[in-house]
Amino acid sequence: MSVIGRSVPRLEDPPLLRGEGAFAADISFPRQLHMRVVRAEMAHARLLAVDVSAALALPGVVAVWTGEDVATIPPIPFRATKLKGLEPYCQPILARGRVRYVGEPVAVVFAENAALAEDAADLVVADLEELPALLDAAAPPRDFDATHATEPAILRKSYGDVEAGFAAAHAVLDLDLSIGRHSGVPLETRGAIARYDAASDTLELHGTAKKQHWNRDEIARLLGRSPTSVHLFEGHVGGGFGVRGELYPEDLLVCLAALRLRRPVKWIEDRREHLVATNHSRQQRHRLRAAVDAEGRLIAIDNVFFHDQGAYVRTHGARVADMSAGLLLGPYAVPAYRATGHFRLTNKTPAATYRAPGRYEGTFVRERLMDAIAARLGLDRVEVRRRNFVPVSAMPFTRPLDALGTDVVLDSGDYALLLDKALARFGWEARQADIARRRAAGESVGLGLGFFVEKSGLGPSDGVRMSVDPTGVVELVTGAASVGQGVETALAQIAADALGVDYRCVRVVRGQTNRIEFGSGAHASRVTVMSGSATHLAGLALRDLALGTAATLLQAPKESLTIVDGMVCRADGPALPIGEVARALAAGTKLSRERAVPGLTTEGWFHSDHMTYPYGVHLAQVALDRMTGAVAVEHYLVAYDVGRAVNPKLVEGQIIGGFAQGLGGALFEEFRYDERGQPLSTTLADYLMPTIAEMPPLDVLVTEDAPSPLNPLGVKGAGEGGTNAVGAAIASAIDDALGNKGLVTRLPVTPREVLRLLGEIEA
Amino acid sequence: MSDVLHRVRMTVNARAATIAVEARRTLAEALREDLGLTGTHLGCEHGVCGACTVLMDGAPVRACLVLAVQAEGAAIRTVEGLAAPDGTLHPLQQAFADHHALQCGYCTPGFLMLAMAMLEENPAMEEAEMVERLSSNLCRCTGYAGILAAVRSVMRR
Amino acid sequence: MKAPPFEWHRPATLAEAVASLAAVAPQDGRVLAGGQSLLPAMALRVARPPHLVDINGIAELGELRVEDNALRIGALVRHAAFHRPVAHGPLGALMAGVVRHIAHWPIRTRGSFGGSLCHADPASEWPLVAVVLGATMQAVSLRGDRLIDGPAFLRGPLETALAPDEILRAVTLPLLPADAHWGFEEVARRAGDFAQAMALVVLRMDAIGRVAEARIGIGGVEAVPRRLAAVEALVNGRLPSATLVEEAGRAAAAACDPMEDAPYRRALVRAVVSRALASAAMPQALAA
C-alpha cells in the first residue's frame, strides 16, 4: 500500500515537542553583537538629521549607523511582478531624506547585548519635520518624491467587449467593496543572524526562510560578493504565511554589519516592530460593475480597484494587485472582463503577500457580487453560482488572462459536483428551514457561501537530489523550504513511495544553500506540486538505478525485482538491503565506473509552464447578537478539492489553520491607523488574532475528484484554500441575517458595524 | 545601575540552578540565555501570546511577565522537562503528535506547559473549561482543533 | 522589547516595604505587585520606573479571610485564588464568576487583586466589584494607615487616591446576605480581552418578589466604574420582568457618559446592564 494518501505521523514533531527546536532566536555565536533598529515615529516627514552621539557614548555600544553609512547599498530589489516604473519606489535599507511610514528603519545600533542595544536605540534622535500623511489609496495620488507620484502603476488586464456587455445587460450591478489591512503575523517574529568566516571567506545568514536561493543571490549582488561565498541556512521556522523570508532591510543590515564589524551580528525582531515592519497585506477597495442577463448569467465585469501598497514597493513588486486583477473571476465563465488596478502608495507599512493573496480579496468581491445578483433578480444564491460555473466539460479552460506571469488555464475541476457534495454535507436545505423558524422567532441568523478557485504549483522548475547511503538511509536535498507546514513529511512520503522505502528512512534537507545550488523555496502553494513532483521523478529514477544494480549483484532479471521497505527482493529469492546496493555503487567500486557519478544518487527535475487550480467552497451559518453586534459563527464547512492528498491529516491541518487566519481577517484582525498615520495595532492585545474560544464548530471535506493533469502525482496545493473564502462566506452569512440587502461591504465586519447595519446605532 | 547583578537560585526541571542577572531580565530570558533552555519561546514579550508559558511552583505563568529575580527559590518547569530522560515523549507530547496539534511548533512549548497545568489541576476537565483555559495562548498555524483534540485525549485517560 | 534598567528592592516585611517606597517614591519609584500590567508596560517602555519595590515576598499581603461579616483580601492575593468561592454565600460565587473574565489563567495566577485596583484600568473587573459592593481600601505609609472607600479610591483612568509613597495593604468587601442575587455581564472582542463594557448587578428581593434593593454598576465605559443611581431607582420596588430589564438597559445607556464612541458604548451598556439584571433577577427566565 502506498504511503501517499496516508496520514502518517510527522517527521518534524519530536524535536519540536521536546523544546529542541532551532528557531532564529535560539541561534547564537560566540562574540556576537546584537542589532537594534531605530524606527521612524512619524508616518511622513522630512528626515533632517539623525543624532547618534548619545547612543555611541553608551558603554557596550560598538557602532551606530544611519542612512549615510549605508548609502552605497542599493535598495531592496524585486523578485516578482516587476512592472515597469516601480524601481524608484524600492525601500532603502535605512531611510535617507524622508521617512514614509511609522516603523521605517532610520538607524541601527550594534551593542554587546540586546537590552543594551535597545537602551542605546532610545538615545538616537531623529530630527523630523512632519509632512501630511496619505492614508487612503482611493484618494487622489500625491508626491512620493520630487519626481514621482504615489501611483507607480495602473495594472490593466482585459478581454472581450466589456462595453457591449453592459449595453446588452438585463441588469447592471454596482458595488463598492473594501478589504481591511491585515497580515500573517506568525507566532515567531523575524530574526537574522549573520556571521562572516574569514578563514573561508564565507558570509553566513541564519534564521532564513522561504526563498533562500534568491535571497542568497541578491544579498551577494547587493554586497558585491560571489553567490558561492554566501550561504543561507534555515532552521525551524515559526510560521511564514507569505510575510517571512522575503528580503527585508534587516537581513542586509546584519550581513553588512558582520562583514564590517567582523563579529557575528544577531537581530531578533520584537513584536511591536513586527506589527509595523513586517509586510502587511490585503488592503484594497474595489469598485465593481457587472452586467448580467435575465437568468443571472454574467455578461461582463468591470473591476476597478485601489491597492494600498503602503510606503514602498517590496520584493513582491505588484504581485498582489496583479493577482487581484488576473484571478478575480474564480470559477465563473465571464464573456468579457476588464480590470483596472490602481497600484498606490500610502504612508503605512509596506504590503505584500499573505496566504491566499489577491484571492481572499477577490473572492470576497466576486462572491458579494454573486449574492447581489441573486438579490437583484430574485434568484437563489446557490443557483446563481451554478449557472455561472465553468462546466467540467470545458476543462481545461483557458481564460484570456495572465497572473504571476503565466496564462490562466484552469487545469481540471468539477465545481458543480463539489458544490453538491458540500451542500449535502453542510445540510444546507435543513439549515435553511431551521433558519426560517428562528427568524420568525425574532433571531438574526443567516447562511452564507463563497465558492473559489485557488492556484498552486507555480513553476517553472524545481529539482532535488536524492541519494541512498550504505546504511539504507535516503537523503533528499531540496531547494524547497519549510515554514512549518510539514514539508519534510510530505516529501519523505513521496520519496518513499517512489523508491520503495519506509518514509521514516528519508532525511529531508531543505533551506540550505550550501547543499544544493538551485531552489525555489516555499511559497505560492508550490512545494507539494513542484518539489513533490521532482522528488517523485528522482525517486523513480533512483529506484530504476537500484533495481538495475541489484540485478547485476543478484544475477537476476531486473524485471523480477522489486523494492519493498528498503529491501530489493524477488518473489522467491534472496533480498538485498538497498544500502548494500548503494555500497556497490560507492566511489571506487567497479560498478561505479560505469556511471558518470558514483553512488546510488540522482537528481530529479520537474518543469511546469502552468499552475494547477484547486477549488473549494465555504459554507457558514451565523447568528447576530442584536444588542452587542457580536457575530457567532454557529457552523462552518470548508470543502476543498486538492486533486490528491499526500497526507490527508496535514491537508486538513492546513485547511483548519488557514480558516482561523481567514476568520481573523473576516471578523477581528485589522491594522488601524489614526488620522496622522500613527499605527494603533502595535501589540497583540490590539491586533486581534483568534484564540480557540473564537473558533466555531468547523467541518472539513477534502475531495480528490479532479487530480491535476499537469503533474505525475495529480496533486494541487492545499495551503491556501482554508483561508481563501472565509471573508466571503462570513460576509454572505451576515448579509443573509440582515435580509440579503448587500449591506456588508467591508471586512472585517466588526460588532460596531453589525450594530450599525442592524440599525441599532448611528454611523 | 544596570551593572548590578543579582544572584538567583532556583530549581529548573528538578535541578538546582544559580544565575546572576540584571533585575530587568525576565524569567523567560534567563531560561533561554542564562540556562540555555531555548525551548521556552518568546512570541510577544508583553504577556499576550502565551508562547513562554512555564510552570512556577506548579502554576502556569507567562515567563515574560515574571522577573528572573522573582524566581528566587522557586521550582520552574519547562518543556525540556516533559520527556523521559531517554527521550520518550510524555503522553501529552505524544498526544500532540498523534492529533497533529502542531505545525511550525513555535507555540507548542507554551501550549504543552499550559496543558500540563490543566492536567495537574483537574484531569477530568469539562470541554468548555478546556477551551477557556486553552484560550490563554495563541497558535497561528493549527486553528486549535488538533490542540484541543490532543488535550481532550489525555484528559480521558 | 526589553525593559529599561531599574533598581530592584525586595523588602521582606510590610514595614520595610513602606520605608523602601518612601525612599524611592520621590524618584518615581513604584510598587511591583503581580506585575501583569506594569511589566508589559515596561517592556514596551511606556513605563520607566527607575526603582521597583517588589512586594511579592511579603506574606501578610497574601491574607484572605472572613472576619466581622466581611471578606478581607490582602493586596497580593492572586486573581486565581477566586476561581473557587473564597467565602460562603453569594459573594464567593460572584467573585468566582467575575474572575473568569479577567485576562487568562496564567495571568490570573500572578496578577493580584490589589494590583488590579491600584492600576485602576477602567476596563478591569475588580474595580467595578469594589465600587458596587462597597469595598474599603486600607492604605499604609510611613504616616500610618488610612481607609479609603471604593469610589474615592478610583479617581480616573490609571489614577487612584494613593499617594506615591502609599501601599495598598488590604481590601475589605462586606459579605453579601444569603438572599442576595447577582449578575455579571461583559462584552470583550475576544475571550480574555479587556472589557468594552461590563455590568454588575446585585439585588435583594422583598417577600413578594419585588426588588427591595438594587445595586447596578458599569465599568469599561467611563473613566472609572460607577453605580448608576437612576437605574437603581428605576428598578427598586419593581417586579422583575422582561419589560423592566429592557427599561433598565435603556436607562443605563442614557445615564452613562462614554469616554469614546458613545453610540456604540451606549449600546453595549444597554446590553450588559439588561443582561446582568436579567441574570440576577430571573436566572430561569434567562435560561429559557
| Contact yes or no for A694 and C190 at CB 8 A | yes
User: Which DSSP string corresponds to C51-79?
Assistant: EEEE-TT-GGGG-EEEETTEEEEETT-BG
| Contact yes or no for C274 and A270 at CB 8 A | no
Q: Which of A727, A660, A658 is nearest to A691 (CA)?
A: A660
Q: Does B63 touch chain A (CB under 8 A)?
A: no
A277: pLDDT confidence band, cut at 50, 70 and 90?
very high
Element (H, E) at A449: strand A444-453
Looking at residue C282, its pLDDT comes to 76
Looking at residue A671, its pLDDT comes to 98
Of B32, B42, B138, the CB nearest to A691: B138
A373: pLDDT confidence band, cut at 50, 70 and 90?
very high
HEC profile of A224-260 = CCCHHHEEEECCCCCCCCCCCCCCCHHHHHHHHHHHH
| Contact yes or no for A685 and B48 at CB 8 A | yes
| Contact yes or no for B146 and A653 at CB 8 A | yes
Element (H, E) at A177: strand A171-179
Select from 3.40.50.1970, 3.30.160.100, 3.30.70.360, 3.90.1170.50 the CATH code of A17-23+32-131+189-237+244-277: 3.90.1170.50
Query: For residue range A195-209, what is the model confidence (pLDDT) as tens digits?
Result: 999 999 999 999 999
Q: Residues of C with CB below 8 A from A668's CB?
A: 189-190
Stretch A132-146: mean pLDDT: 97
| Contact yes or no for A692 and B96 at CB 8 A | no
Interface probe with B: pick from C76, C105, C119, C121, most Cβ of B within 10 Å: C105
User: Chain A: residue nearest C262 by CA?
Assistant: A761
Looking at residue A80, its pLDDT comes to 82
State how far the Cα of C115 lies from the Cα of C37, in Å rounded to an integer: 9
Residue A116 three-state SS: helix
Stretch A378-395: mean pLDDT: 98
- Chains with at least 3 CB pairs less than 8 angstroms from chain A: B, C
Interface probe with C: pick from B1, B24, B107, most Cβ of C within 10 Å: B24
Of A17, A189, A658, the CB nearest to B93: A17
User: What is chain A's length?
Assistant: 763
State how far the Cα of C90 lies from the Cα of C200, in Å rounded to an integer: 13
Instruction: List the strands of the sheet with A284-292, edge to edge.
Output: A153-159, A336-344, A298-308, A284-292, A171-179, A746-747
- How many angstroms separate the CA of residue B104 from the nearest CA in chain A? 4
Beta-strand pair A265-268/A33-39: parallel
Stretch A388-406: mean pLDDT: 94
User: Chain A: residue nearest B144 by CA?
Assistant: A692
- How many angstroms separate the CA of residue C119 from the nearest CA in chain A? 17
Burial (CB count <10 Å: 0-12, 13-18, 19+), residue A555: exposed
Residue B64, pLDDT above cutoff 70? yes
State how far the Cα of A77 lies from the Cα of A95, in Å rounded to an integer: 15
Q: Which of C103, C35, C115, C36 is nearest to C73 (CA)?
A: C115
Interface probe with C: pick from A112, A752, A754, A757, most Cβ of C within 10 Å: A752
C-alpha cell read off for C112? 493580584
Please give the class, per CATH, of domain B91-155.
Answer: mainly alpha
Of B25, B96, B105, the CB nearest to A21: B105
Q: Does B61 touch chain C (CB under 8 A)?
A: yes
Of A115, A627, A668, the CB nearest to C270: A627
Looking at residue A414, its pLDDT comes to 98
Of B26, B132, B136, the CB nearest to C100: B132
Stretch B2-23: mean pLDDT: 94
Residue found under cell 466589456: A162
- How many angstroms separate the CA of residue B14 from the nearest CA in chain C? 21
Stretch A573-598: mean pLDDT: 93
Within chain A, all domains assigned CATH 3.30.365.10 are found at: 284-389+396-457+610-757, 458-607
- Chains with at least 3 CB pairs less than 8 angstroms from chain B: A, C
State how far the Cα of A57 lies from the Cα of A53, in Å rounded to an integer: 6
| Contact yes or no for A755 and C267 at CB 8 A | yes
User: Which DSSP string corresponds to A349-383?
Assistant: --B---SSTTHHHHHHHHHHHHHHHHHHHT--HHH
Residues 6+ apart with CB under 8 A from A126: A38, A40, A41, A47, A49, A50, A51, A99, A106, A107
Instruction: Catalogue all structural domains in chain C, each as residue range(s) with its CATH number.
Output: 7-54 (3.30.43.10), 59-174 (3.30.465.10), 181-282 (3.30.390.50)
Query: For residue range A592-616, what is the model confidence (pLDDT) as tens digits?
Result: 998 989 999 999 999 999 999 999 9
Interface probe with A: pick from B55, B100, B135, most Cβ of A within 10 Å: B100
What is the CATH T-level fold of the domain A284-389+396-457+610-757, as seen in this structure?
Aldehyde Oxidoreductase; domain 4 (3.30.365)
Q: Residues of C with CB below 8 A from A685's CB?
A: 193-194
Looking at residue A664, its pLDDT comes to 98
Stretch B109-132: mean pLDDT: 97
| Contact yes or no for A628 and C264 at CB 8 A | no
Residues 6+ apart with CB under 8 A from A27: A191, A193, A206, A207, A235, A266
Looking at residue A763, its pLDDT comes to 67
| Contact yes or no for B22 and C5 at CB 8 A | yes
Terminal Cα distance for chain B, rounded: 52
Query: For residue range C199-253, what is the model confidence (pLDDT) as tens digits?
Result: 999 999 999 999 999 999 999 999 999 999 999 999 999 999 999 999 999 999 9
Element (H, E) at A401: strand A397-403
Stretch A737-762: mean pLDDT: 96
Residue A669 CA from chain centroid, whole number = 17
User: Which DSSP string corresponds to A515-548?
Assistant: T-S----S-TT-IIIIIHHHHHHHHHHHHHHHHH
Looking at residue A404, its pLDDT comes to 87
**What ipTM describes this predicted complex?**
0.98
Q: Residues of A with CB below 8 A from C3's CB?
A: 115
Residue A104 three-state SS: coil
Burial (CB count <10 Å: 0-12, 13-18, 19+), residue A409: middle
A79: pLDDT confidence band, cut at 50, 70 and 90?
confident
- How many angstroms separate the CA of residue A706 from the nearest CA in chain B? 26
Query: For residue range C51-90, what is the model confidence (pLDDT) as tens digits?
Result: 999 999 999 999 999 999 999 999 999 999 999 999 989 9
Residues 6+ apart with CB under 8 A from A427: none
HEC profile of A619-648 = EEEEEECCCCCCEEEEEEEEEEECCCCCCH
Q: Does B132 touch chain A (CB under 8 A)?
A: yes
Looking at residue B101, its pLDDT comes to 98
**Domain map (residue ranges) of chain B:** 6-78, 91-155
Query: For residue range A244-258, what is the model confidence (pLDDT) as tens digits?
Result: 999 999 999 999 999
Residue A727 three-state SS: helix
Q: Residues of B with CB below 8 A from A184's CB?
A: 140
The CATH architecture to which A458-607 belongs is 2-Layer Sandwich (3.30)
CB neighbourhood size of A204 (10 A): 21
Return the CA Rg of chain A: 27
**Percentage above 70 pLDDT, chain B:** 97
Q: Which of A500, A426, A446, A501 is nearest to A633 (CA)?
A: A446
Q: Residues of B with CB below 8 A from A115's CB?
A: 2, 22, 24-25
Stretch A216-231: mean pLDDT: 97
Question: Looking at this protein, which amino acid is placed at residue A19?
Answer: G
State how far the Cα of A263 lies from the Cα of A37, in Å rounded to an integer: 18
Looking at residue A459, its pLDDT comes to 83
Phi, psi (rounded to 5 degrees) for C66: -100, 125
**Percentage above 90 pLDDT, chain A:** 94
| Contact yes or no for A698 and B143 at CB 8 A | yes
Residue A534, pLDDT above cutoff 50? yes
A429: pLDDT confidence band, cut at 50, 70 and 90?
very high
Looking at residue C286, its pLDDT comes to 43
Of B24, B45, B114, the CB nearest to C6: B24
Of B24, B39, B143, the CB nearest to A656: B143
How big is the A-B interface in CB pairs under 8 Å? 175
State how far the Cα of C147 lies from the Cα of B133, in Å rounded to an integer: 36
| Contact yes or no for B45 and C1 at CB 8 A | yes
Q: Does C80 touch chain B (CB under 8 A)?
A: yes
Question: Looking at this protein, which amino acid is placed at residue B82?
Answer: L
- How many angstroms separate the CA of residue C108 from the nearest CA in chain B? 9
Residue found under cell 518543469: A607
**Alpha helix segments (H runs only) across C69-167:** 90-99, 105-108, 113-119, 125-133, 150-153
User: Chain B: residue nearest A270 by CA?
Assistant: B44
| Contact yes or no for C274 and A115 at CB 8 A | no
Looking at residue C241, its pLDDT comes to 95
| Contact yes or no for C274 and A690 at CB 8 A | no
Looking at residue B3, its pLDDT comes to 66
User: Strand runs (DSSP E) across chain C, as ranges?
Assistant: 7-9, 30-32, 51-54, 64-67, 70-74, 136-141, 144-149, 154-156, 159-160, 167-174, 181-187, 197-205, 211-219, 226-227
Looking at residue A458, its pLDDT comes to 85
Looking at residue A574, its pLDDT comes to 81
Residues 6+ apart with CB under 8 A from A665: A179, A180, A182, A282, A360, A723, A726, A727, A747, A748
CATH code of the domain made up of B6-78? 3.10.20.30
Q: Residues of C with CB below 8 A from B132's CB?
A: 100, 105, 191
Looking at residue C285, its pLDDT comes to 46
State how far the Cα of A78 lies from the Cα of A352, in Å rounded to an integer: 11
Q: What is the mean pLDDT of chain A?
A: 96
Q: Residues of A with CB below 8 A from B144's CB?
A: 660, 691-692, 695
CB neighbourhood size of C81 (10 A): 18
Residue A24 CA from chain centroid, whole number = 20
| Contact yes or no for B106 and A23 at CB 8 A | yes
Q: Does B95 touch chain A (CB under 8 A)?
A: no
Query: For residue range A666-686, what is the model confidence (pLDDT) as tens digits?
Result: 999 999 999 999 999 999 999
Helix then strand then coil, % of chain B, to nearest 5: 40, 15, 45
**Percentage above 70 pLDDT, chain A:** 100
Stretch A87-98: mean pLDDT: 96
Stretch A497-516: mean pLDDT: 96
Q: Does B115 touch chain C (CB under 8 A)?
A: no
Query: For residue range A157-204, what is the model confidence (pLDDT) as tens digits?
Result: 999 999 999 999 999 999 999 999 999 999 999 999 999 999 999 999
Q: For residue A75, give Cα distances in angstroms to A47, A248, A315, C58.
A: 17, 10, 10, 56
Q: Which of A133, A115, A77, A69 is nearest to A95 (CA)?
A: A69
A485: pLDDT confidence band, cut at 50, 70 and 90?
confident
